[in-house]
Amino acid sequence: MYYELNRKGDQKMIVLDIRTDNFYSFKDFHMNMSYPKKIVNSYIPDEYLMERPNFRYKKINILLGANASGKTSVGKMLMDIFNFIDKKQYTTIVQKINNPKKEAYFSMDFITSGFKMYRINAIFSPLRVEKYTAENVKVCIREVPITLKDSYETCAEKISNQKCSYDNNFVQELEKVTDLSWLFEYPSDSSIVNTNLNQNVDLYIRVLQNILHTLDPSIEKVEKIAQVENTFVIRMKNKDIVMQDGEVINKDILSSGTKEGIAIASVLTSILGRECSFYYCDEKFSYINSDVEKAILTVMINSIRQNEQLFFTTHNNDILDLPLPKHSFSFLKKEFYEDDFVITCVSASKYLKRATDSLHNAVDNDLFSTAPNLDSIYQLLDFIHN
């Protein structure tokens, strides 16, 4: 598992729109996190900026799609952009450029502190020498105040009407934005999980204990070892397992699902404890029962407060049965187009307009054209006859 936490007090971080080209497998990729019309009796309360009821944004963003459709890449791209803004360094983000011989760019509309919306435009010129330099990086940041009657659409129009100047040094431009706050959690080859002790330790123990006991009833409780910093013990009926500095000792004793539960507990603790305002939980339930995933996601959804935002990626179509607004669901797909593979994002609300439209039926009938092509798998049956 891999995690990244950036906590800046009580500051908020809300992403409203992302466009990118030539990073990862993205080509003219666009994803929008606003919605234009108020939902009556919505399952998600207060899905708008605090004290700005017309400024609606998607608090819950559930991303579905086949393998390699871009769900993890969306999170990594956002994390790269956040770090680029926060650290004001370009060396990491340029490593994600797909074709260095072509221009790469991204733009993002977002909110941090106060009633102010930002738009960052960044252009990375084609590589002409051995490696990128600051001369390859051009950044423009524009901002507008969010008035009482403003919506995202009106603010976006105001920003679009402003001139975008790339004259300043990109570091000077990035200094216009401060106090970004986020948590990313997604799979990797590392076995390290987040046991960040800025969190409420008692809350973390309670969440971890409840989740692990649900996944493995032989786990009786979780305790903090007082004598050793950042160390916990998972007590089972016949054995104990130690977790120190985020690494599980004797991890082979635990099932794959139980190990995933440790990372999930960290994310849920951060949400319950208001550690951040932006959360990206990616592919954490591959080995976990569908009902358990739905239950944990339900707790996450009900714990996300106003001025906070959750991204959650999954392969589990049972999640479609949750009583969420259709705009909460987006589908990613990778298609071959003009001699290249292109990732696109389709919002369910674009196709399903009526309250009675069934999202599950739409997916079962592949309305969004996101089902994987299984022809190559079934072609293996030819070997039966050879």
Q: Give the H/E segment covering residue 365.
A: none
Amino acid symbol at 237: K
Residue 353, number of CB atoms within 10 A of its CB: 8
Instruction: Tell me the whole-structure pTM to 2 decimals.
Output: 0.93
> Left, alpha or beta for 114 (phi > 0: left; psi -120 to 50: alpha)?
left
Low-confidence ranges of the chain (pLDDT < 50): 1, 189-192, 197
Number of H helices, E strands in the chain: 9, 18
- What is the pLDDT at residue 190? 45
Tokens of 161: 């009407």
- What is the pLDDT at residue 271? 93
Strands of the 14-21 sheet, one edge to the other: 29-32, 14-21, 104-111, 116-124, 137-145
- What is the pLDDT at residue 68? 84
Query: How confident is the model over 147-206, as pLDDT tens digits?
Result: 999 999 999 999 999 999 887 799 999 999 987 889 998 775 444 455 554 558 899 999
Q: Residue 279 and residue 170: Cα distance in Å, rounded?
A: 27
Query: How confident is the model over 244-297, as pLDDT tens digits?
Result: 877 888 777 888 888 889 889 989 999 999 888 999 999 889 889 999 999 999
Query: For the purposes of burial, counting CB atoms within 10 Å of the CB of 373, is it exposed (0-12), middle (13-18) or buried (19 or more)?
Result: exposed
DSSP per residue, 34-100: B-SSPPTT-SS---EETTEEEEEB-SEEEEEESTTSSHHHHHHHHHHHHHHHHH---TTGGGGBS-T
- What is the pLDDT at residue 177? 92
